[in-house]
Amino acid sequence: MKHESTPERQAFYGVLDSHDLAPLWEAMATLVTPQPQSACVAASWHYERLRPLLLEAGALITAEEAERRVLVLENPGIRGRSQITNSLYAGLQLILPGEVAPAHRHAAAALRFIVEGEGAYTAVDGERVTMHPGDFVITPSWTWHDHGNLGSEPVVWLDGLDVPIVNLFDTSFAERSATKSQFADCAEDLAASRYGSNMLPLDYEVHGGNSPLFAYRYAPSRAALERLARSGQIDPVHGTKLQYANPATGGYPMPTIGAFLQLLPAGFNGAIYRSTDATVFNVVEGDGFSMIGEERFDWRPRDVFVVPSWVPVSHHTNSESVLFSFSDRPAQKALGLWREHA
């Protein structure tokens, strides 16, 4: 609604301004919109173009100097803010053989989705896991974490963080460890043994909203999707899709970021869908394209693309495809804000 501008009103607005006040009625239309009006846009990054740049970064700066050698994927609609959506950060991180990304912790929660390479590990609060392509790994808020590459090839993963959420709430904390790398006194995959087999420690008590299981392996996730797909459980929008879960609560792995894996059969022509959680996709297998709004985004393995809030999207495949994705859905649901429409 447009309000009449009179000289009296304009003069009054000047007075208000001098008192750190503003007339709501002049701002309300932009503050409270009938539908989400994101400045973010749909976008994609092709891995074949990203990979040489990552390797060039590897030549220009060490993991240690960079602390984290990451190319941030910036949403073209909001450049300069290190964000892929209005609430999330994403980047591709490279770690070369022999390198260590030193231990630190921060209020921001992070996920990793392994894109390429064998031999790297992540250590979380003293426990170390080796990562393989397709694995989904979390480093929840305020957990110590470091990464290293003990193998012989470059390793690349997609990082997703809730930095914009943490900063909206003015709740950023961060700390560097005195020691570069956590002493990993634990056997590999202890958390998987304790929490990952549909069993839990005796009289386990939940503290906070983070999953005690911090590595979700690609092989069993992929196999579960395949069995479901073979049984005919194929959704017209999502194909066969599951969300990663905290085995101790059934909730999302972390309170701010949810993650998903979906299998689309060859020749899939998905129905149109939209939801308020802008979503970042990474292609694991297959090739196809997604219609995001009116625009077509072709994708192949390891490509990244982003669907903004409330923009209609449909997925279409040539070959059988697997898509990993993540969004802020847990936060939106916890705050009563999430909507979807199929």
**Binding positions for its own copies, 94-133, rule CB under 8 A:** 106-109
Q: Which C-beta is closer to its own copies: that of 178 or that of 187?
A: 187
Burial of 220 (0-12, 13-18, 19+ CB in 10 A): exposed
Output the smallest distance, CB 18 to its own copies, in A: 10
Q: Which C-beta is closer to its own copies: that of 245 or that of 291?
A: 245
Output the smallest distance, CB 319 to its own copies, in A: 22
Stretch that binds its own copies, among 60-68, 114-122, 150-158, 290-298 (CB under 8 A): 60-68
- Across the strands, what pairs with 95? 155
- Number of chain positions touching its own copies (CB under 8 A): 138
Q: Which C-beta is closer to its own copies: that of 193 or that of 269?
A: 193
Q: Does 341 bind its own copies (CB under 8 A)?
A: no
Output the smallest distance, CB 318 to its own copies, in A: 24
Closest to 83 in 3D by CA, of 4, 3, 165, 6: 165
Tell me if residue 217 falls in helix, strand or coil: coil
Among 117, 148, 308, 323, binds its own copies (CB under 8 A): 308
- Cα separations (Å) of 267 from 234, 238, 264, 274, 326? 13, 14, 8, 21, 24
Burial letters for 224-254: b for 16+ Cβ neighbours within 10 Å, e otherwise? ebeebbeeeebeebbbbbebbbbbbeebbbb
Output the smallest distance, CB 139 to its own copies, in A: 13
Output the smallest distance, CB 47 to its own copies, in A: 12
Give the x-and-dash track for 320-339 against its own copies (CB under 8 A).
Answer: --------x--xx-xxxxxx
> And the tokens for 182?
């956590």
Output the smallest distance, CB 17 to its own copies, in A: 8
Binding positions for its own copies, 217-276, rule CB under 8 A = 220-221, 223-225, 227-228, 230-231, 233, 238, 241-250, 254-256, 260-261, 276
Q: Does 5 bind its own copies (CB under 8 A)?
A: no
Q: Which C-beta is closer to its own copies: that of 298 or that of 318?
A: 298
Among 42, 70, 155, 307, binds its own copies (CB under 8 A): 70
- Cα separations (Å) of 323 from 211, 265, 313? 22, 11, 14
Rg (CA), the chain: 22
Binding positions for its own copies, 174-213, rule CB under 8 A = 174-175, 186-187, 189-190, 192-194, 196-204, 206, 208-210, 213
Spacing of C-alpha 41 from chain mean position: 16
Rounded Cα–Cα distance for residues 188 and 151 (Å) = 16
Q: Which C-beta is closer to its own copies: that of 31 or that of 178?
A: 31
Spacing of C-alpha 255 from chain mean position: 12
Q: Which C-beta is closer to its own copies: that of 107 or that of 318?
A: 107
Output the smallest distance, CB 42 to its own copies, in A: 12
Output the smallest distance, CB 78 to its own copies, in A: 11
Start-end of H helices in 86-198: 163-168, 190-195
Question: Given the structure tokens 């192949």, which residue do they identify?
Answer: 300
Rounded Cα–Cα distance for residues 289 and 139 (Å) = 31
